Structure 1
Amino acid sequence: MAFLLTLVLPLAVMAQGVLGTSRLPSKVESDLVRAELMAHAPQGAGPGQEVWVGLQLTHAPEWHTYWKNSGDSGLPTELQWTLPLGVSAGEVAWPTPRKFPLGTLANYGFNGTVLLPVPLTISPEFRGSHIDVQLYAAWLVCRKECIPEEGNFSLRIPVDGSTGLNAQAFEATFAAAPTSQPPADSAIAPEEGFIGVSLDGLPAAWRNQILEFFPESGGIIEPGAGWTQAWTGDRWTARVPLSPHRSDSPTSMSLVVAQATPPGEGPGSPGVQMDVPVQGTWPAPAALPVAVPDNLSAALEANAARAAAQTPPANPSGVPITLWAALLGALIGGMILNLMPCVFPVLAIKVLAFARHGDGAGAQRAHRVNGLAYTAGVVLSFLALGGLLLALRAAGEQIGWGFQLQSPGVVAALAVLFTLIGLNLAGLFEVGNLLPSRLATLQARNPTADAFLTGVLATAIASPCTAPFMGASLGLAIGLPPVQALAVFGMLGLGMALPYLAASWVPAIARALPRPGAWMQTFRQLMAFPMFATVVWLLWVLGQQSGIDGAAALLMLLVVLALLVWAMGLRGRSRTVLAGASLLGLAWLAWAVGPNVTRLQDADPGAVVATSVQGVSWEPWSVGRQEALLAEGRPVFIDFTAAWCVTCQYNKRTTLANEGLLAEMASKNIALLRADWTRRDPAVTEALARLGRNGIPVYAIYKNGQPTQVLSEVISVEEVRAALTSL
């Protein structure tokens, strides 16, 4: 393992250079929404200037996205900004929404074209000739069905000069935004099942006209229920039904009121925004029945959201998972990780080093120190990954464990790493022959650091494989307080490091190993092939994310990289010529085809995949499709999977391909849905969270009137059949 210390840092630098991303676009377009990042800075973007940025959404006909309070269902559009030092973003200046009725329910949102403007504050500390704005946005676009979409955008705003190309769009949005005004004598009076709304100081032109009422916080009123309103002089009053699911009793309500929206698209009519005080005491929420719309398909969107809010996390046994059970599961799952084909060569060669160095007193002391250093590298790496996951989720990111493999850049970097390790194990090159003698002997002079970095490397290549062994423990960890959650991640790392730690502290293990000899070199070369097999798997994963062009581009980069490291081991003029040519070729490939590697291919909504049994096919999962099938009375079997999940692929080709099992599912009219998590998908992440899971594979069976059944991660035909007997 002498290559590890001198390989990891140069590889990281190399990956950053080869796989660096190009500038993000300012527009992202799908079949349903065209999204564009815009800016408005007519006087430039210096300190004290008025600077606005915003995301403009242009919807396909009959589709809509949501306001800050989405109504009975839906999700508001989320904007997450990355800005230079000295620049900060404010809140969205939401235009007045429209109301979209769904039977007796209703949503608040926008159709047509809408711009969501956000003010930027430029402080005197800002330095630079331009402001580079980066935005990650996620939105839910709905008609009768709902589809989550997202995009990454970038825009450059010059400090000097005018950026007013989008002035008309911003001015139109500002004109459609509600005007804030004090409540004056306005008040809200709760009563049993209703709130009485009395607003004072509304525009005189509104008198005796029908108005719309939009509370900025959801869950308080029934948006689609019928309610009465009237004018008494210049005072507008209304009696609005309370939601039976209300859990909040605010002392004041922020609301927008506007003229009833005429037919059309875009934002609603310009309105008035008020913070109205509540007078009186809120009644206890009533256990009222939920109204069912006449048009069931139009209400699936609302029913899905309500079911999500009311469905408790599930687990396979139905027994709550305690913290101690999660810690034990993490410890055992971590130990099993050492059998992964990409981890086992690292561990095996480290253990075989015991035979080379003997079992004397000095060697035993060195083994123990290295064992502790390796354990520290593994545990600290798992804690770092767990902490990053918790921090990103706390910031609103919808991600789960294994999120790193949802990035094509990370997949490509791991493929480069495994290729270099495999070539080193196969004997194509030795690090000592490529580097100056001072660097080449760095590992020998720092064995403890080498052991620590080995632990870091083992964690990087093993972490995506954890979910099959401890999905329940990880699902619990995400919902625990940070200290307890990190304890689960730390126990996972301890379990993975435990075999090597035990071997380093038990001299009998070193004595039981065969004597050093030529077999050790043969074994080392043999261990190169699991690494190459892992590279093949990573190339396949990248092909699922970036398409065939991305996989082919990475494969060509790996070939030229192998040529480079081989040429560096030559001597004389051959080394200079071949190494120089391969280095130039590598640089050209990185520039010419490198972007294909890290670019996500266009989202594919999926297609029906036939099975070996006639009449039984896998359909792409969506919340709307799941709810539609359940509404038909059909049981639904969902396979939460991803291309980078090895266990998922094994189950897919064994248990889930069993003709007898598929025939039994067909006889019970079970619908088969496949929720693909190869790329980041907040909807899949949310569905997993409702099942108490945060990693894959997960297999769930749904049926109306019955609790959800969650099967084990490594499923068998017998287990699935047993679950089907209850349907």
Structure 2
Amino acid sequence: MNFFKRNRITRLIACMIVLLGLGVSPAPAQTEPVRQANTEVELIPQFLSLARGQEFWVGVRFTPDPGWHTYWRNPGDSGLPSSVDWQFPPGFTVEEVVWPRPHRILAGPLVTFGYDSETFLLFRIRSPTDVFPTDEVPLTAGVKWLTCQEICIPGTANFSWTLAVSDANPAPNPRFLEYHKKHRDQYPFHEDVNAIQAYDRGPVWEIVYKPSQFVPGMEQVQFYPYEADIVDYQAVHEFTVRDGVYSVRIKKAETADEGSIRRLEGLLVFDKEGYPPLRPVRIDVALEKSEMEFGSRPITGLSSLWGAMVFAFIGGLILNLMPCVLPVLSIKVLSLVEKSKHGDDKIFGSGVMFTFGVVVSFWILAGVMLGLRFAGQQIGWGFQFQSPYFIVFMAVLFFCLALNLFGLFEIGTGLTRVKASDNSFMNGVLATIVATPCTAPFMGSAIGYVLTKPPVYTVIVFTALGFGMAAPYLLLTKYPRFLRAVPKPGPWMAHLKQFLGFVLMAVVVWLCWVLSLQNGALSVILLMGGLLILGLGCWVYAVSRKGPLMLIVAALISLAGLYTGYLAAATPEAAAEEGIVWEPYDEEKLLAYLKTDRPVFLDFTAAWCLSCQVNDRTVFQDKRVAARFRELDVIAVKADWTNHDPKITRAVNGYGKNSIPFYVLYPRDKVKEYMMLPELITPGIVLNALDKYAVDP
């Protein structure tokens, strides 16, 4: 190791001597490109003239020969950074230097930071206000650089030019525009200060970064410090991603003077090019002394816990209107009408127990989600519907409830007949179970808020969600006079129950379709056969004394339904020739799509998500929407979350979400940020978004 340290010092001294020795005879002043030291260098101003008090940029282009490289502002273990010595008239100032992103260059045990291809170094200059239109301003720049391969060669060049001062807007320099456009993705951008935190954690520095624009498929982030000798250049950074938050742990250098280091300054450079963010991130943040692990102080989207609670409560209210919940709660309201004869106090007790059942069920659901997350699983709302076993359970449950509503059998202590507070509690549990495949507006933001929060935040938000869902029923039991709007009990109630039984049967059909997408048609046949046997058992239980004829009729009808189900599962759906052509979600392909000048539309969906399927039928199969997708040449990407997919789950969390549906539209002009559409969309919402974000810039 001592040899390498001596070797590093020897190289630095040699470079300095060469620079001093050869730098005394610079190239003559000029504006044309200079070729020297195996590098072509050119100075290119932004404008062809100058306005008083104007800010303007000057770019310096370095193009080393193949196999050679120049150096970044912190060259690492060896090398020297490029520099420019400006000679201006009084009043001109250089206000900023912007270095493109570097990369690591390995030379034995040494690690250097630099460029082995063309770079465009930018200088922001401000002119004074006391120059006049008749003036001509002379500007001179002395450029020095070091080009290395196995040996290092210093280079110098002087550039001079004159800019005329004009009152009119100065004309842009086409050559500057050409190179700036070519290299603009290499320049760092300043992220929101609240999105970045830095910690001193003993032997390492840790940077915690919540990007405003999520990059799917990120595997590594490299930190390039502005200050030399504070990090171990040879050590590999420890990089983790959790819920859309990046953590980079950087080993400290043995020579780092920790007592004097108060801030971390440098660049975060991502290993994959993509959008967003495509460019490196400028880091300039105060260090906090902390031994706490990553995630203890996360950065999130919603500004407060109160806001998340309000969103969760509203989402719970709307959840009652979802097709998976409405039939069960309608039956509950009917039971209240029957029970109103027994007194208000008894009704309110039923409402309290129903609310308790809902809230406890949401607590259990939150606990299961937290437990799985702590075990390393990436999950979100409705995760249980990714399991075929749960799909089968739900199909059996809805099938039995439907038979009960048809009057085939009666269960005195059943979930749909409220005769005691205990049954109201179980009804709340049932309502929560059937609500899980649905996502209401506001729910996604509320659940996304707790992605990186401590567990207590998750429990609080899920509690608010449960109270929101139970609130209408609780209010009806507290103020039963509102039940007077419901017609008096009579035969119509039996007819309504039977109608709701058909609604539940439709849910069973939908669950069979979901299962077919997960496990194929054979699993649907087995499920339908099991339901047939179960239904026959219930029927035998109810009419066993009415003779065998009814059993034969039921069997024939069931066989006909089974054959119809088989045909539906075995016949693939014909693709609409004029519909939207969806590409399946793939991280690598998505990154490639985001580098094009075509708009990109992401649809995060699942077969078990009713809201997703409603949006698909009413919006994406709309002829106007499909035609607009074709006209604008939109790349449509479908992220199907029907089965558990860690990559899609990572993408969902990365966008700050924990539930579906949600939709992301990337504009044609990738400089702009993407647009998040609401959970429930209409053709008009999508068309307006396309017109705003997907048209030519």
Larger Rg: 2
Q: Which residue in the other structure is 2:578 paired with?
A: 612
Aligned equivalents of 2:315, 2:275: Cα separation in 1? 34
What amino acid does structure 2 have at the position aligned with 1:568?
Y
Q: 1:331 to 1:443 in 2, by over 3 A?
A: closer
- Describe the superposition over 1:246-289 as per-residue Cα deviations: whole angstroms up to 9, x where unpaired: 9676755899999xxxxxxxxxxxxxxxx998343377655459
| Among 448, 451, 454, the residue aligned to 1:475 | 448
What amino acid does structure 1 have at the position aligned with 2:322?
M
Structure 2: segments with no counterpart, 5+ residues: 1-72, 79-100, 116-187, 189-195, 205-230, 236-250, 283-299, 556-568
Aligned equivalents of 1:343, 1:224: Cα separation in 2? 55
Aligned equivalents of 1:310, 1:631: Cα separation in 2? 18
Aligned-residue offset at 1:320: 4.7
What amino acid does structure 1 have at the position aligned with 2:337?
A
Aligned-residue offset at 1:395: 2.5
What amino acid does structure 1 have at the position aligned with 2:651?
A
Identity %: 37
| Among 517, 522, 526, the residue aligned to 1:553 | 526
1:526 corresponds to 2:499: yes
Q: Which residue in the other structure is 1:210 paired with?
A: none
Does structure 1 retain, via aligned residues, the 8 Å contact 2:269–2:280? no
| Among 701, 705, 715, the residue aligned to 2:671 | 705
| Among 650, 666, 674, the residue aligned to 1:686 | 650
Does structure 2 retain, via aligned residues, the 8 Å contact 1:402–1:464? yes
Q: Which residue in the other structure is 2:614 paired with?
A: 650
Q: How do residues 625-640 of structure 1 correspond to structure 2 at under 5 angstroms?
A: 625-640=589-604
Does structure 2 retain, via aligned residues, the 8 Å contact 1:608–1:618? no
Aligned equivalents of 2:538, 2:492: Cα separation in 1? 25
Q: Which residue in the other structure is 2:180 paired with?
A: none
| Among 624, 627, 637, the residue aligned to 1:663 | 627
Q: 1:365 to 1:277 in 2, by over 3 A?
A: same
Q: 1:633 to 1:497 in 2, by over 3 A?
A: same
Q: How do residues 187-586 of structure 1 correspond to structure 2 at under 5 angstroms?
A: 194=76, 225-229=104-108, 237-239=109-111, 241=113, 252=203, 278-281=254-257, 286-288=265-267, 290=269, 301=272, 303=274, 320=302, 322-359=304-341, 363-431=343-411, 447-571=420-544
Q: 1:573 to 1:425 in 2, by over 3 A?
A: closer
Does structure 2 retain, via aligned residues, the 8 Å contact 1:474–1:694? yes
Aligned equivalents of 2:279, 2:506: Cα separation in 1? 40
- Describe the superposition over 1:206-258 as per-residue Cα deviations: whole angstroms up to 9, x where unpaired: xxxxxxxxxxxxxxxx99722223xxxxxxx5345599999676755899999
Structure 1: segments with no counterpart, 5+ residues: 1-190, 197-221, 230-236, 259-274, 292-298, 312-317, 433-439, 583-600
Aligned equivalents of 2:468, 2:639: Cα separation in 1? 30
Q: 1:305 to 1:719 in 2, by over 3 A?
A: closer
Aligned equivalents of 1:649, 1:309: Cα separation in 2? 38
Q: How do residues 89-238 of structure 1 correspond to structure 2 at under 5 angstroms?
A: 194=76, 225-229=104-108, 237-238=109-110
Helix, strand or coil at the partner of 1:226: strand
What amino acid does structure 2 have at the position aligned with 1:278?
E
Q: Which moved more, 1:380-389 or 1:506-515?
A: 506-515
Helix, strand or coil at the partner of 2:520: helix
Q: 1:715 to 1:611 in 2, by over 3 A?
A: farther
- Describe the superposition over 1:674-727 as per-residue Cα deviations: whole angstroms up to 9, x where unpaired: 111101111111212222211111110124211120001111222223222234
- Describe the superposition over 1:76-135 as per-residue Cα deviations: whole angstroms up to 9, x where unpaired: xxxxxxxxxxxxxxxxxxxxxxxxxxxxxxxxxxxxxxxxxxxxxxxxxxxxxxxxxxxx
Q: TM-score, normalised by structure 1?
A: 0.54
Q: Which residue in the other structure is 2:561 paired with?
A: none
Does structure 1 retain, via aligned residues, the 8 Å contact 2:267–2:280? no
Q: 1:193 to 1:493 in 2, by over 3 A?
A: farther
Aligned residue pairs total 440
Q: Which moved more, 1:345-354 or 1:690-699?
A: 345-354
Aligned equivalents of 1:527, 1:554: Cα separation in 2? 22
What amino acid does structure 1 have at the position aligned with 2:256?
G
Q: Which moved more, 1:548-557 or 1:382-391?
A: 382-391
Q: Which residue in the other structure is 2:681 paired with?
A: 715
Higher RCO by CA contacts (8 Å cutoff, separation 6 or greater): 1
Aligned equivalents of 1:510, 1:372: Cα separation in 2? 17
Helix, strand or coil at the partner of 2:639: strand
Q: Which residue in the other structure is 1:262 paired with?
A: none
Q: Which residue in the other structure is 1:83 paired with?
A: none
Does structure 1 retain, via aligned residues, the 8 Å contact 2:603–2:663? yes
Helix, strand or coil at the partner of 2:343: helix
- Describe the superposition over 1:349-383 as per-residue Cα deviations: whole angstroms up to 9, x where unpaired: 22222332344xx5211111110000000011112
Q: 1:326 to 1:257 in 2, by over 3 A?
A: closer
Aligned equivalents of 1:509, 1:279: Cα separation in 2? 76
Helix, strand or coil at the partner of 1:672: strand
Aligned equivalents of 1:347, 1:521: Cα separation in 2? 16
Q: Which residue in the other structure is 2:63 paired with?
A: none
Helix, strand or coil at the partner of 1:542: helix
Aligned equivalents of 1:444, 1:651: Cα separation in 2? 34
Q: TM-score, normalised by structure 2?
A: 0.56
Aligned equivalents of 2:438, 2:428: Cα separation in 1? 16
Q: Which residue in the other structure is 2:241 paired with?
A: none
Does structure 1 retain, via aligned residues, the 8 Å contact 2:598–2:635? yes
